[in-house]
């Protein structure tokens, strides 16, 4: 098993995460209590809310969570990674 690194962030209005060194990297993206939209396209995935954006690019696997309430929509396009969505997404936009 190779070196394991974990980075977490809270309380920021925008977080951008990039996987550039290879390996088997995974991104976890979470919603807020308000209405949010999750986008997945190409090498990128991101959650937009009223007061935040969480962006990930270049990861091998992305997990998106709609757990905090509000109305969360998703816009899914063709992606270059394994995508998992969990929780109460209302619809594909």
**pLDDT in the model for residue 30:** 94
Q: Give the rounded percent of residues in the chain with a pLDDT score beyond 90.
A: 73
Residues 64, 4: Cα–Cα separation, whole Å: 21
Q: Which of 1-10, 15-24, 27-36, 37-46 has the lowest mean pLDDT?
A: 1-10
pTM across the whole model: 0.88
Positive/negative CA dihedral, 31, 34, 38, 44? negative
68 with 28: CB under 8 angstroms?
no
Residue 25 pLDDT level (bands cut at 50, 70, 90)? very high
pLDDT at 90 over 70: yes
DSSP symbols for 7-30 = ----S-SEEEEE--S-S--EEEEE
Residues 39-84: pLDDT tens digits? Answer: 999 999 999 999 999 999 999 999 999 999 899 999 999 999 999 9
Query: Taking phi first (over 0 means left), then psi (-120 to 50 degrees means alpha), and beta for anything else, what does residue 58 get?
Result: left
């Amino acid at each position: 098993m190779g070196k394991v690194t974990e980075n977490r962030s809270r309380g920021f209005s925008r977080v951008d995460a990039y996987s550039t060194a290879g390996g088997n990297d995974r991104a976890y993206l979470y919603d807020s209590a308000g209405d949010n939209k999750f986008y997945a396209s190409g090498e990128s995935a991101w959650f937009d809310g009223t007061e935040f954006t969480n962006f990930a690019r270049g990861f091998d696997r992305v997990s998106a969570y709609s757990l905090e309430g509000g109305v969360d929509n998703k816009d899914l396009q063709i992606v270059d990674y394994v995508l998992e969505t969990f929780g109460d997404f209302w619809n594909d936009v």
